[in-house]
Amino acid sequence: MLSKKNDVKMIIMDNNYVDLDGYFERIGYYGSRNATLETLKSIQQLHIDAIPFEAIDVLLGRGIDITAEAIYNKLIVARRGGYCFEHGGLLKRVLSSIGFDVSGLIARVKWMSEPNSAPPPRSHMVLCVQIEDKSWLVDVGFGGCVPTAPLSFGTSEPQETNHETYRLTPARQGHLLEVMLDGVWKPVYEVSREEQLEVDFVTPNWFTSTHPQSIFCKNLMVARTTPEARFTLLANRLTIRRQGQKLEQHLLSVDQIERALSDIFNLTVDPEWKILIEKAAQT
């Protein structure tokens, strides 16, 4: 059943403020607030479990507001999900408030692209976190293939996470992130090491949320990664990748999509989503 639209109280804040207590309650983190690698690992894993990846507002033609106030009210107060600029913006402010040395980076997505295809625009936000003398790639907004742990920029060797194994190799303008799937290295994205200011994400966010060629303007896309499994919904296809088990794929009806959004992705289904869900079920 479709639930009624949440009547939530929005919070007004300046562009650098974040309510740490509200964020930590949202992701279920009750550990240390010291700026250590262990703290970073715990927050990253809990974040991608608790806050789903989704771009439903893009399909509704609402656009994506990436100001601090809008992101906090959507992801924390309204308990919605978001895509990379929302996830990354929120986590950047959280980590900075704790005391981490963190900067925003921009990446060129190569995931699922054809070999030798034209390079796409830079459209993905990630973070670089400096802890003592080491730099770490931290990403909580890449959907179904999001890394589940910080990855060191200081090595080209494979780096294991509790899901897949990744590696960061030198590229023409930064580093290429690759993931090992079925025994083959697959490109994920090429990330520039040049620090981006908040204003630098405005244009790629606008492109990603409005351009007809953007994948987010074409399909219902939702993802969540738990310690045990990855769940992704693309239109009406639900994919479940559990550790050490065979890949599952299911084609869903309208009612099943609604239940998946609620039960798997922890989203309160808004009546305004009905038309999107019906369209997805017909794909």
Q: Which residues are catalytic?
A: 84, 124, 139
Q: Which residues contact 134 (CB under 8 A, 6 or more apart)?
A: 152, 153, 154
Using alpha carbons only, give the angle 59, 259, 268 rounded to the nearest 5 degrees.
60
Rounded Cα–Cα distance for residues 22 and 76 (Å): 7
Q: How far is CA 187 from the centre of its chain?
A: 17
Rounded Cα–Cα distance for residues 3 and 274 (Å): 11
Burial of 34 by CB count in 10 Å (0-12 exposed, 13-18 middle, 19+ buried)? exposed
Cross-strand pairs, 152:
136
Rounded Cα–Cα distance for residues 174 and 56 (Å): 31
- The answer to whether the CB of 281 falls within 8 A of the CB of 259 is no
Q: Give helix then strand counts, H and E, for the chain.
A: 8, 13
